[in-house]
Structure formats: C-alpha cells, structure tokens
Amino acid sequence: MLGIAERWRGNMKLFRIICLKRSILADQYYVYWKSNRAGYTEVKGEAGIYSSEDLNQCAGFENDWYASPLSFSEIGGYRI
C-alpha cells in the first residue's frame, strides 16, 4: 500500500471515512473507519486513509458514511 505522499503525487484524492451511525455531528463527535475497513476509532490520527478507488469498494446503507477529503496540509503541504 502506498503512503499518503506517494498517493498524492499520483493526483489521487484522499479521504477519511466518518461513520455517521456512530458519530454525533451536532456535538462534533466523529467516529472514523480504521484502515482496510477494520473497525472504528474516535482518534482522527488513527483513521484509515482511503482513495477514490477505495471508496468504490466500501459498502453501507444510504447515508451510512461520509468521505471527508484530506486537507492540503494533511497530505504534506507541498506539491512536487
């Protein structure tokens, strides 16, 4: 699996997935999917990073999850 910087250099959009069933958006309490869709975490830094291609493989019900794009600074903050 490629790291964040390598994936970004390939111009892939990268995302964290927020589980809407377990999160409380009004309180800004977010639960993220871990890498490889292997569980959940409340810690943003432990959340998995998913590409647009990865999102096509994610199952769920309507409005079950939200793909939150990584910011420029989270990706590395520079362009090559």
Q: Domain locations in the chain?
A: 4-73
Closest C-alpha to 14, from 57, 74, 78, 77: 74
C-alpha distances in Å from residue 35, one per residue of 26, 27, 41, 48, 58? 25, 24, 10, 4, 12
Q: Phi/psi of residue 27, each to 5°?
A: -95, 5
User: What does pTM read for this prediction?
Assistant: 0.76
In this predicted model, what pLDDT tens digit does every residue of 19-43 receive, in sequence order? 999 999 999 999 999 998 899 999 9
Range with the poorest average pLDDT among 9-13, 24-28, 60-64, 65-69: 9-13
